[in-house]
């Protein structure tokens, strides 16, 4: 924060020195700064959030009929553990109960990548994840002027006088899209990925998936740094899987079982990786040098293009920043359209590309005339003059290639001989002859791998474990890990919430702590002042930006911290004491729920005794409940904790709340990582063309059915280039071109429109006949030999006849691809969730199927 504030102030002074108007500082905004560290268990913010969630649940079960027959379990910040892992604990303990339905459908909401690993680790038949779509390169407001379209270092202090469009609106105003990820589909891909022929033991998909999850931990997770030789952007996961599939014949078994790794086999994998570490580091250096050279050449081309086009490097009227959306989308086109709007958008883009040069100069002249006319009507203010001058200076400023983004100094040079000695000397301050130290680091790392894997499959095995180093060892240092025996049998317990805050907060966030506790972070006389350094070193560790580096903070001395906190415990207020307690889970139901009378009986008993739940009354949920002394009884008013017009007090509460505990298991119980008996496999959705083994098994999913498929950007010159060559090619073929009809056996009659066919031969017709994702296709060959084009037979045009060149016919469940079949053949690709209808005549690409 301090570094960013300094950068803003430096840019402000620079602009003022150049005589450019700069927006004034807003004192109220500075005071209202939101410290995101408050989103940590134990803070007043999280206590208010828990109250708001309880109000929201009561409001829903009282006013929303959709909530009438469901159970809601709230595990707020006072219940120890990460949210997603508390949910996993709940699922594991429900799976172990005989009343659990093995075909329960789960949907987990969250953006963390580890949710995918957790979903696979459950081995549940129906597990799904919903998450907000991540759109890279989203524009951010300049920290100085608040405008979009440029970064802080490019700010000229001027107000933006052009409408940059929806791409540049505030984040809260942008449309939110969501991704629905089905774990069963991912399992299909991984089943193909992990296929290993002629194994010396029986192949077990569940065990292979557990090994895949374990191998991903080496690339990095929330608790361990990734190995130096494994960078995910370099295909580290693919490298590990390939190595695993090569060595599994030597290992003669799987790496893990029920969340516990076989360390002798882990050592074999690491030995294999260690043999190629030299090659990995050298190739990384070559790739980085090639990338820097390409970037340099790219800047040179941009400079040349910019000077040739008036010094700007982009067309007039285009924003300075255009976010990327993927592959082949016009830069100024809206990204989320379908049906008629898409066709109109494509037509407009073609017309704009053809007319751009003819109209651009005229538009510029018209704008200049209008501005001159407006200037006659009134004098400009000094701010407007300064804004125009700043834009003028920016436009006239030449594009100069500099080395302002200086690469960090690399003292390790992993690509040169002696890299291991230099690494341990620089990172651990250990000499090259201390082999035992390297092994200790490797053992500590492996202990961490064992802890993380148990965390995913069995729950938290130790509340006080941590990796005691800032850096990871090399794969070649795992030579003796097969002898290591991890031990997590010692009983441990989590910190209290305020103790946890003292363990993770910097002194800059002390305002969320009790007053007397804050002094322990700042006063020189504090026995633990060394745990909160005001200045500390950040090792870039080969990265470019500080946020990517390693913060070299001291590790917390647990015993010394807890001993010091004893002296300030008596100063806590009642509210702070409540926030500092480890709380229970709570379960809520509404008045119309079938178990309401049972819950009300437990609540009215006001007894702390636990009562077993009847799973038949709660849709299969098992556990124990007891009286909640903080709950609001049904029939009483429920005050809103939020001062907002949308959050009114509830005059009559219709919900009931009791405390909830998961089913209990013995301390040494091991939850089996298996698919439960009775679980029904989801219907397969992976098709032959979705998997291309000739490309090393890289995925080739069909995304054409997705209206929000990612697309990239082409500027107008790129569009003109494509239009020129596509049109030219089409004119050169048979019969010329009549509005994309006729010519070359029918040409291309619109990918999104099912209108008339080519008079010569029909071509590829159909496309999308509806804005909805309606599928079900039947490709049929045109009568006559040799063209091998897809033809949609129209009424009165004769029947298609199979081509000998296209014998492929897969009629699984009445669908698949029927290439070259007769016009009245089966109804095309027909498999849930895409339910296709039978076509008239040749079927073609029907548009009357339904989304199910």
Residues 501 and 458 grouped into a single domain: no
Q: Does 831 map to a domain? A: yes
The predicted pLDDT at position 729 comes to 52
Residues 742 and 850 grouped into a single domain: yes
In DSSP terms, which residues pair with 132 in a beta bridge? 178
* Model pLDDT for residues 260-309, shown as the tens digit of each residue: 999 999 999 999 999 998 899 889 888 888 988 998 898 888 877 765 44
Phi/psi for 257 (5° steps) reads -150, 120
Residues 461 and 528 grouped into a single domain: no
Long-range contacts formed by 508-514: CB under 8 A, 24+ apart: 508/1, 509/35, 509/37, 509/38, 511/35, 512/35, 512/37, 512/38, 512/40, 512/42, 512/43, 512/44, 512/45, 514/568, 514/571, 514/572, 514/573, 514/576
Question: Which among 530, 553, 578 is the end of a domain?
Answer: 578
Residues 773 and 848 grouped into a single domain: yes
What is the spatial distance between Cα 209 and Cα 195, in angstroms, rounded to a whole number?
11
Question: What one-character-per-residue DSSP string does 643-691 give?
Answer: -BTTB--BSS--EEEEEEEPPP--TT-----SPPTTPPPPPP---GGGE
Question: Looking at 141-150, 471-480, 507-516, 757-766, which range is the least confident one?
Answer: 757-766
What is the spatial distance between Cα 847 and Cα 835, in angstroms, rounded to a whole number?
11
Given a cut of 60, whether residue 513 has pLDDT beyond it is yes
Q: Does 784 map to a domain? A: yes
What is the spatial distance between Cα 79 and Cα 771, in angstroms, rounded to a whole number?
47
pTM over 0.75: no
By the 10 Å C-beta count (0-12 exposed, 13-18 middle, 19+ buried), 321 is classed as middle
Residues 435 and 510 grouped into a single domain: no
CA distances to 593, 625, 701, 831 from 588, rounded to whole Å, are: 10, 11, 42, 40
Residues 199 and 307 grouped into a single domain: yes
The domain of 563 spans: 497-578
Average pLDDT of span 372-398? 45
Q: Does 395 map to a domain? A: no
CATH number, domain with residue 562: 1.25.40
Given a cut of 60, whether residue 762 has pLDDT beyond it is no
Average pLDDT, the chain: 75
Residues 234 and 301 grouped into a single domain: yes
Long-range contacts formed by 173-176: CB under 8 A, 24+ apart: 175/336, 176/132, 176/133
Pairing between strand 178-182 and 691-692? unpaired
Residue whose entry in the numeric block shows the structure tokens 């003819």: 358
DSSP H helices, 378-404, are 382-396
What is the spatial distance between Cα 714 and Cα 712, in angstroms, rounded to a whole number?
7
Residues 280 and 206 grouped into a single domain: yes
Question: Which among 578, 605, 632 is the end of a domain?
Answer: 578
Given a cut of 80, whether residue 494 has pLDDT beyond it is yes
Given a cut of 90, whether residue 824 has pLDDT beyond it is no
* Model pLDDT for residues 318-363, shown as the tens digit of each residue: 443 444 333 333 443 334 444 444 455 555 555 554 554 444 545 5
Given a cut of 80, whether residue 203 has pLDDT beyond it is yes
Average pLDDT of span 81-93? 95
Q: Does 672 map to a domain? A: no
Confidence of residue 62 (pLDDT cuts 50, 70, 90): very high
Average pLDDT of span 366-376? 48
Q: Both tokens of residue 473?
A: 């060892």
Q: Count of residues for the chain?
A: 852
What is the spatial distance between Cα 544 and Cα 597, in angstroms, rounded to a whole number?
62
Question: What one-character-per-residue DSSP string does 298-367 give?
Answer: HHHHHHHHHHHTTSSSS-TT--S-----SSSEETTS-SS--HHHHHHHHHHHHHHHHHHHHHHHHHHHHH
* Model pLDDT for residues 673-706, shown as the tens digit of each residue: 999 999 999 888 888 767 665 455 555 554 444 4
Question: Looking at 144-158, 504-518, 771-785, which range is the least confident one?
Answer: 771-785
Dihedral over Cα of 525, 526, 531, 533: its sign: negative
Q: Does 244 map to a domain? A: yes
Average pLDDT of span 773-799? 39
Are 503 and 556 in contact by the 8 Å Cβ rule? The answer is: yes
Of 81, 71, 77, whose CA–CA distance to 53 is shortest?
A: 77
What is the spatial distance between Cα 217 and Cα 450, in angstroms, rounded to a whole number?
10
Residues 479 and 540 grouped into a single domain: no
The predicted pLDDT at position 754 comes to 39
The predicted pLDDT at position 171 comes to 60
What is the spatial distance between Cα 616 and Cα 596, in angstroms, rounded to a whole number?
13
Q: Does 641 map to a domain? A: no
* Model pLDDT for residues 608-663, shown as the tens digit of each residue: 999 999 999 998 999 999 999 999 999 999 999 988 888 999 999 999 999 999 99
Residues 502 and 478 grouped into a single domain: no
Question: Looking at 10-14, 116-120, 310-314, 598-602, which range is the least confident one?
Answer: 310-314
Q: Does 139 map to a domain? A: no
Element (H, E) at 692: strand 691-692
Q: Does 785 map to a domain? A: yes
Residue whose entry in the numeric block shows the structure tokens 């437990």: 602
Residues 432 and 562 grouped into a single domain: no
Element (H, E) at 486: none
Residues 212 and 279 grouped into a single domain: yes
Q: How many domains does the chain have?
A: 3
Phi/psi for 19 (5° steps) reads 80, 25
């Amino acid at each position: 924060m301090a570094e960013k504030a300094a950068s803003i102030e430096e840019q402000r002074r620079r602009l003022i020195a150049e005589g450019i108007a700069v927006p004034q500082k807003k004192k109220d905004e500075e005071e209202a700064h939101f410290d995101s560290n408050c989103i940590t268990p134990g803070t007043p913010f999280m206590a208010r959030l828990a109250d708001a969630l309880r109000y929201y649940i009561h409001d829903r079960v009282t006013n929303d009929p959709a909530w009438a027959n469901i159970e809601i379990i709230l595990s707020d910040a006072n219940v120890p553990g990460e949210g997603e892992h508390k949910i996993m604990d709940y699922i594991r303990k429900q799976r172990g109960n005989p009343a659990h339905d093995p075909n329960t459908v789960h949907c987990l909401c969250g953006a963390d990548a580890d949710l995918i690993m957790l979903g696979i680790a459950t081995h549940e038949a129906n597990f799904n994840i919903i998450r907000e779509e991540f759109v890279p390169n989203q524009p951010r407001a300049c920290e100085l002027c608040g405008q979009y379209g440029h970064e802080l270092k490019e700010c000229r202090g001027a107000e933006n006088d052009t409408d940059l469009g929806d791409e540049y609106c505030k984040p809260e105003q942008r449309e939110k899209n969501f991704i629905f990820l089905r774990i069963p589909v991912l399992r299909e891909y991984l089943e193909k990925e992990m296929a290993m022929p002629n194994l010396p033991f029986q192949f077990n998909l569940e065990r292979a998936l557990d090994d895949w999850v374990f191998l991903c931990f080496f690339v990095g997770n929330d608790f361990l740094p990734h190995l130096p030789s494994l960078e995910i952007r370099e295909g580290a996961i693919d490298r590990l899987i390939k190595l695993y599939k090569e060595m599994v014949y030597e290992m003669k078994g799987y790496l893990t079982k029920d969340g516990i790794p076989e360390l002798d086999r882990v050592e074999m994998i690491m030995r294999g990786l260690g043999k190629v570490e030299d090659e990995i580091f050298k190739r990384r250096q070559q790739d980085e040098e090639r990338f820097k050279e390409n970037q340099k050449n790219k800047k040179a081309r941009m400079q040349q293009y910019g000077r040739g086009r008036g010094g700007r490097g982009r067309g007039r009227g285009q924003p300075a920043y255009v976010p990327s959306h993927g592959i082949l989308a016009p830069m100024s086109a809206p990204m989320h359209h379908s049906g008629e709007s898409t066709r109109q958008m494509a037509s407009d883009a073609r017309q704009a590309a053809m007319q751009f040069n003819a109209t651009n100069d005229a538009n510029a002249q018209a704008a200049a005339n209008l501005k001159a006319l407006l200037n006659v009507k009134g004098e400009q203010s000094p701010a407007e003059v300064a804004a125009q001058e700043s834009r003028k200076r920016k436009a006239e400023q030449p594009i100069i290639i500099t080395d302002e983004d200086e690469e960090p100094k690399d003292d390790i040079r992993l690509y040169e001989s002696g890299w291991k000695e230099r690494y341990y000397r620089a990172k651990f301050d250990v000499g090259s002859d201390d082999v035992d130290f390297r092994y200790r680091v490797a053992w500590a790392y492996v202990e961490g791998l064992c802890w993380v894997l148990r965390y995913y499959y069995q729950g938290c095995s130790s509340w006080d474990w941590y990796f005691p180093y800032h850096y990871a060892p090399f794969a070649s240092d795992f030579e003796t890990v097969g002898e290591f025996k991890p031990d997590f049998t010692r009983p441990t317990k989590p910190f209290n919430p305020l103790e946890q805050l003292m363990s993770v907060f910097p002194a800059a966030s002390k305002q969320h702590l009790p007053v007397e506790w804050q002094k322990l972070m700042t006063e020189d006389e504090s026995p633990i002042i060394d745990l909160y350094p005001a200045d500390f070193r950040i090792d870039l560790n080969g990265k470019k930006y500080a946020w990517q580096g390693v913060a070299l903070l001291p590790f917390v001395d647990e015993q010394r911290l807890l001993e010091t906190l004893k002296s300030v415990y008596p100063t806590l207020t009642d509210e702070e004491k409540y926030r500092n307690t480890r709380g229970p889970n709570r379960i809520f139901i509404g008045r119309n729920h079938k178990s309401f009378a049972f819950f009300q009986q437990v609540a009215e008993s006001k007894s702390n005794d636990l009562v077993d739940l009847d799973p038949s009354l709660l849709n299969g949920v098992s556990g124990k409940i007891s009286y909640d002394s903080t709950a609001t009884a049904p029939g009483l008013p429920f005050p809103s904790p939020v001062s907002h017009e949308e959050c009114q007090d509830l005059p009559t509460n219709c919900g009931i709340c009791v405390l909830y505990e998961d089913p209990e298991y013995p301390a040494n119980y091991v939850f089996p990582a298996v698919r439960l008996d009775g679980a029904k496999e989801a219907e397969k959705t992976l098709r032959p063309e979705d998997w291309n083994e000739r490309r090393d098994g890289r995925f080739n999913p069909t995304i054409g059915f997705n209206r929000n498929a990612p697309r990239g950007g082409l500027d107008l010159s790129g569009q003109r280039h494509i239009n020129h060559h596509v049109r030219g090619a089409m004119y050169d073929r048979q019969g010329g071109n009549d509005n994309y009809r006729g010519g070359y056996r029918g040409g291309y009659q619109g990918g999104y429109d099912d209108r008339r066919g080519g008079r010569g031969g029909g071509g590829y017709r159909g496309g999308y006949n509806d804005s909805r994702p309606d599928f079900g296709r039947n490709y049929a060959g045109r009568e006559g030999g040799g063209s091998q084009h897809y033809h949609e037979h129209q009424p009165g045009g004769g029947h298609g006849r199979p081509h000998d060149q296209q014998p492929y016919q897969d009629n699984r469940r009445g669908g698949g691809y029927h290439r070259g079949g007769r016009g009245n053949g089966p109804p095309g690709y027909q498999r849930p969730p895409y339910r296709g209808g039978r076509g008239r005549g040749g079927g073609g690409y029907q548009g009357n199927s339904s989304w199910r």
